[in-house]
Structure 1
Amino acid sequence: MARLTKKQKEARAKVDNNKIYSLEEASALLKEITYTKFDASIDLAIRLGVDPRKANQMVRGVVSLPHGTGKDMKVLALVTPDKEEEAKAAGADYVGLDEYLQKIKDGWTDVDVIVTMPSIMGKLGPLGRVLGPRGLMPNPKTGTVTMDVAKAVAEVKAGKIDFKVDKTGIVHAPIGKASFDTDKIIGNAQELLSTIMKLKPTASKGVYVKSIYMSSTMSPSIAVDTKIG
């Protein structure tokens, strides 16, 4: 086991592992125990009482964080020539079609989100093995396959994220940066959690939200009260 640094020990000492913190307490404490020299990302890990192996218990959705993610999301718009100016004006970092399809085929995936049009999805199918594992395959359910390319690009740039429960029943999602005020961290967390609550599958029985943990890059995790709002 790796030896803890002095700062790691100090951070862990401030977290009571036997306590369930309120969202407000956790947000404030996290800023105290984040010691990285860079602006660390803040994440929530929400364990749900679902069986993701069953299609009727899959939890997946999108949420527009009111205060953004704090990250400059790099967006690739794969569009026909008549939509290129629209995508550029909305803030897409890369705009085009065939040249980028070839770059992806050659292994290039240096983007956070890909937005495209329904007519182009057929060309993306063969690239599923490259895009799928990286979570980059556009999907109509997340609003990244649409004729309104400008709106999709603008929403991603403003802080729209998509989330999906993993095979262990946990949703991992970014909710901001350590430099955010606590009010912004709380607001983003509440928006994500309320969205997940609305997506509870009817087939899910018993406790839906089993646990919530908040952490930042390299920080200890903090247990958060599941009774939000």
Structure 2
Amino acid sequence: MKRGKRYQEAAKNVDRTNLYDSTEAMSLVKKTAVAKFDETVEAHIRTGCDGRHAEQQIRGAVVLPHGTGKKVRILVFAKGDKAAEAQAAGADFVGAEDLIPKIQNENWFEFDVVVATPDMMGVVGRLGRVLGPKGLMPNPKAGTVTTDVTKAVADIKAGKIEYRLDKTNIIHVPIGKASFAEAMLEENFKTLMDAVIKAKPSALKGQYIKSITVTSTMGPGIKLNVAKIMNA
């Protein structure tokens, strides 16, 4: 794949044979984010899990201390008092059955996270085919199926992110923006890693985390020293 001059210049700062500690990596990821917009910094965690087995699945959520730097639009499925609670908490969109045709027929997806009260999951289930592939289906493990909609909305607005295995058993998560201070990125990264390490499936035999790479949207990948992070 042919890369632009800007990428090639930035990539010269990264030693591909080196495994960096998290402090060096956050410094480097900022240095190599040279696009004309505020790039997102992401962590890519390759695991030894086999997500085809339910007992080796990983899915959870964690509130990053400094957020992701992205404004998150929240859609809440709720009725009555819970709908009023969601609106008061600052949800961007609140509704019930009325939202089904809007999403299904009008292809309306102007939201980033979906929260639902348990009694609304029968309604939301009808949207499984469209929400599922986009990773938007509410899930109790991620705290997005809940009766406490105030807390759910507040946590998401404060920087709660969901982590889960993709089909290749890798976790891809945003940990901030290139404009963040190094210490902020490092704190967010450490909070994420603590959660992922705690989520290790008991059924897993062998190495849990095989590699960790951090990168900005347009920048080169920076490999981290897994052993150091696991023993920190």
Contact in 2 for aligned 1:75/1:112 (Cα 8 Å): yes
Q: Give the counterpart letter for 1:127 in structure 2.
A: L
Extract unaligned runs of 5+ from structure 1: none
Contact in 1 for aligned 2:86/2:94 (Cα 8 Å): yes
Q: Give the counterpart letter for 2:156 in structure 1.
A: V
Cα distance in 2, alignment partners of residues 73 and 194 from structure 1: 23
Deviation at 1:175, TM superposition (A): 0.5
The within-5 A match list for 1:28-177 is 28-106=27-105, 107-177=107-177
* Match status 1:200 vs 2:200: yes
* Match status 1:187 vs 2:187: yes
Cα distance in 2, alignment partners of residues 57 and 210 from structure 1: 15
> What's the CA shift string for 1:23-73, capped at 9, x where partnerless?
000000111110111111110000111111111111111111111111111
Contact in 1 for aligned 2:96/2:123 (Cα 8 Å): no
Deviation at 1:82, TM superposition (A): 2.1
Deviation at 1:205, TM superposition (A): 1.5
How does the TM-score come out when normalised to structure 1?
Answer: 0.96
Contact in 2 for aligned 1:81/1:96 (Cα 8 Å): no
Cα distance in 1, alignment partners of residues 39 and 124 from structure 2: 33
Identity of aligned residues (%): 50
Structure 1 vs Structure 2 CA RMSD: 1.1
- Of 83-92 and 164-173, more deviation after overlay is shown by 83-92
Contact in 2 for aligned 1:27/1:186 (Cα 8 Å): yes
Extract unaligned runs of 5+ from structure 2: none
Q: Give the counterpart letter for 1:186 in structure 2.
A: E
Contact in 1 for aligned 2:97/2:123 (Cα 8 Å): no
Cα distance in 1, alignment partners of residues 96 and 58 from structure 2: 31
How does the TM-score come out when normalised to structure 2?
Answer: 0.95
Deviation at 1:156, TM superposition (A): 0.6
Q: Give the counterpart letter for 1:146 in structure 2.
A: T
Instruction: Count how many residue pairs are aligned between Structure 1 and Structure 2.
Output: 228
Q: Give the counterpart letter for 1:117 in structure 2.
A: T
2:222 alignment counterpart: 222
1:27 alignment counterpart: 26
Cα distance in 2, alignment partners of residues 59 and 206 from structure 1: 16
Contact in 2 for aligned 1:75/1:113 (Cα 8 Å): yes
